[in-house]
Amino acid sequence: MKRISKIGFRASAILFSSALVVACSNEQDPGLEYAPDMYHSVPLDPYSQIKENKYNPGGMNMRQPAAGTVARGKEGYNLYLSKDDAETAGVELTNPLQRTTANLEEGKVLYTRFCAPCHGEQGDGQGLVGQKFKGVPSYTAGRVATLPAGHIFHVITNGRGRMMPHGSQVDPTERWKIVMYVQQLQKGETATAVDADSEVRDEAGGESITDNPVTGTPAGTPTKETPKN
């Protein structure tokens, strides 16, 4: 009886050891994979080039964008400045938005949210952060009071001096609305109401606080209006 028990114990040990070896083995055949390219794809990283890319001309992962295309989220901003600085942007960029009450009101909301902590609600550089870190300029003083729309837009987008870029916080359309309100503050005004006649003049190409997006005339340059009967 004892002998039978020993044989049974040894057999059980052998079976357990065999099962353990099989279970832990890495040499099992996984079988066939359906559509293996979906499991083992070759990603094309645009910012690295290890092997030749057989799908794109020249074997490169990155391809030159088609001429005149604008990247998503970059609408309203000329990506082809002759020189990428604020001064050049002030000459070559114009505000594509019409000066309306709605645009000014939204510009004021965005300004209060993103700009007022440093520049102050009145644009005097006396926001809570501006009081702590001195040197934030007033929009109504000196050269800052005459900065054109494109210059302001470029600074909002890319930053300047101690001001960090805000291009990731506000999209291009929102930036132009902020620019529109900042130009109100340059005149020492915080009002956002635009009378209907002014909006009509803007549509007709009359005087505007921004550069004329069609003719490229400087900000504040009046254009001839058709006499009213």
Give how far the C-alpha of residue 202 lies from the chain's centroid of Cα atoms, to the nearest Å: 28
Does residue 112 carry a pLDDT above 90?
yes
Could you tell me which of 138, 112, 104, 142 has the C-alpha nearest to residue 123?
A: 138
Secondary structure (3-state) at 146: helix
pLDDT at 118: 92
Own/partner pairs, 53-56, CB within 8 angstroms, 24+ separation: none
pLDDT at 135: 85
Does residue 51 carry a pLDDT above 80?
no
Return the half-sphere exposure (C-beta side, CA atoms, 13 A cut-off) of residue 81.
Answer: 18
Residue 163: beta bridge partners? 160
Domain extents in the chain: 86-203
Contact (CB, 8 A) for 183 and 191: no
**Model confidence at 8, in pLDDT bands (50, 70, 90)?**
low
Contact (CB, 8 A) for 41 and 47: no
Fold of 86-203: Cytochrome Bc1 Complex; Chain D, domain 2 (1.10.760)
| More confident site: 189 or 65 | 189
Secondary structure (3-state) at 16: helix
Contact (CB, 8 A) for 194 and 104: yes
Does residue 138 carry a pLDDT above 80?
yes
Share the mean pLDDT of the chain.
Answer: 75
CB atoms within 10 A of CB 217: 16
pLDDT tens digits, one per residue of 59-110: 777 777 777 777 776 665 556 788 888 999 999 888 989 999 999 999 999 9
Of all residues in the chain, what percent carry a pLDDT higher than 70? 65
pLDDT at 119: 93
Highest mean pLDDT among 26-35, 48-57, 124-133: 124-133
Could you tell me which of 202, 201, 207 has the C-alpha nearest to residue 219?
A: 207
Give 58-78 as a DSSP string.
GG-SS-PPPTT---TT-TTS-
